Structure 1
């Protein structure tokens, strides 16, 4: 779906990849409904948008509250006149601890934001997207959604749920005007650890590892391009391409490689 003159809803738009997705869409001629739980962060996104800010509406929404999400489509339409696509980018990781050390409150929060927040958005917007000449749903999963990462088991489970939900939606909507894309980012230089309350102790990053990390701007370009090309799935980053290949051939070896890398 060409985003020119389209209205796209972006969650997690207050920073990181989400903010860069907003700016990328604006540069390509789209209008954007920017969604985040943090009003100050949304205001900063609007400020950075500069003279293109007139094409942005900001919506402070807690994605774990279903009724608030269900009210969002009409709010977007009231401002922009229509809605053509959604990019479900918002998400958090868990503290870097094993499942037996993770409390149920944090487990529920990760699942509520990453999976149920995405599900609420999809369920709320599909009826409106089906009425448009063309529509699009892009859901952001993760490399951790197909590759097990010790210390991020619940995060991975939530992103695996997003993966299968999105792939099933692709099949369910294949004979409609609505296209569906799932995205698997690898390492991206964002503040997700800090924003999720999951910071690890400072560890040096070697140059080879650093070169594999995408900037949020690079990730946003890959995501929006994948949306415009109606891709079934998008791999974002050199690391995710490599681990996807290894995992397809030998899942156990891939899991062991990740576990060993994290251990050291």
Structure 2
């Protein structure tokens, strides 16, 4: 067994992890990799069929896995689920607030209904999950609270104002919580994935007023170089190394540097306004 595998096994065996958005993508990959290390799981998603499939896939491991159809934007639902988890396992050691949705539209065109829908899941879901499970995490000898932001929590793009808002908010909330947990047994981590091969963009609410949906999906799928499994590996390694900020993918690492080098002009350096200007010139 490699040194990395030894560390995984020592860090996660016998623990209890809660993962939101666990029916697919990074959430599912985390569930499988933690199960491989003997970690018990409490998985939630709105896709109950997907969750049942993941649960069935994990039956070969010597762990307990419970699943629940949970809307993370439901505050009381999260509280009730935390009590269910404690009743089942008597402990919680890790929380991965991973569930998220995407909305691609202009500020002028997008509806407040869509904006609220996204914020309720991407931001309030993180807040509700953190509040519901933090009292139990504080009782664990070595706990991790992991909130998934995005590369778009480090920089902004046109047509991503709602998504940017939610992911910048997750980042601010998580970094503040990390400071508040200083000196405790709870390590707090903010994850910033770049382009990951998941269905979040394929399932996004997309306005076709500005850019054809097919072009958006094609461009994203070309740029998404990192698999969900690779992302899960980076996240778990980040927990072992107690990293506050976990960047996933070379694209996230490079763009993070550019934003720090050119904080006031990165949109010009990266050409983010070219498409907007070209469209305006045609009008």
Using the size of structure 2 for normalisation, the TM-score is: 0.86
Number of equivalent positions: 261
Q: Which of the residues 61, 70, 85 maps onto 1:61?
A: 70
- What's the RMSD between the two structures over aligned residues? 2.1
Q: 1:206 to 1:67 in 2, by over 3 A?
A: closer
2:160 counterpart of 1:152? yes
1:219-230, aligned counterparts within 5 Å? 219-230=231-242
1:166 to partner: Cα distance = 0.6
Query: 2 CA distance for matches of 1:206 and 1:129?
Result: 36
1:73 to partner: Cα distance = 1.4
Tell me, yes or no, if the aligned pair for 1:11 and 1:36 is still in contact at 8 Å: yes
Q: Which of the residues 51, 55, 58 maps onto 2:60?
A: 51
2:94 counterpart of 1:81? no
Specify the SS of the correspondent of 2:174.
Answer: helix
Query: 1 CA distance for matches of 2:149 and 2:275?
Result: 20
Query: 1 CA distance for matches of 2:44 and 2:76?
Result: 15
Q: 1:143 to 1:84 in 2, by over 3 A?
A: same
2:272 counterpart of 1:259? yes
Query: 1 CA distance for matches of 2:220 and 2:119?
Result: 32
* Counterpart residue number, 2:48: 39
1:253 to partner: Cα distance = 3.4
Specify the SS of the correspondent of 2:11.
Answer: coil
Query: 1 CA distance for matches of 2:37 and 2:170?
Result: 27
* Counterpart residue number, 2:6: none
* Counterpart residue number, 1:192: 200
Tell me, yes or no, if the aligned pair for 2:15 and 2:93 is still in contact at 8 Å: yes
Question: Larger relative CO (CA 8 A, sep 6+): 1 or 2?
Answer: 1
1:99 to partner: Cα distance = 0.8
Q: Which of the residues 124, 148, 153 maps onto 1:116?
A: 124
* Counterpart residue number, 1:90: 99
Q: Which of the residues 245, 250, 260 maps onto 2:262?
A: 250
Q: Which of the residues 180, 183, 187 maps onto 1:179?
A: 187
Tell me, yes or no, if the aligned pair for 1:46 and 1:53 is still in contact at 8 Å: no
Query: 1 CA distance for matches of 2:54 and 2:248?
Result: 23
Q: Which digits, 9 at most, give the CA deviation of each residue in 1:204-223, with x for residues without a partner? A: 5599x55x620111111111
Tell me, yes or no, if the aligned pair for 2:35 and 2:63 is still in contact at 8 Å: no
**Structure label with greater radius of gyration:** 2
Using the size of structure 1 for normalisation, the TM-score is: 0.92
Tell me, yes or no, if the aligned pair for 2:158 and 2:273 is still in contact at 8 Å: no
* Counterpart residue number, 1:25: 34
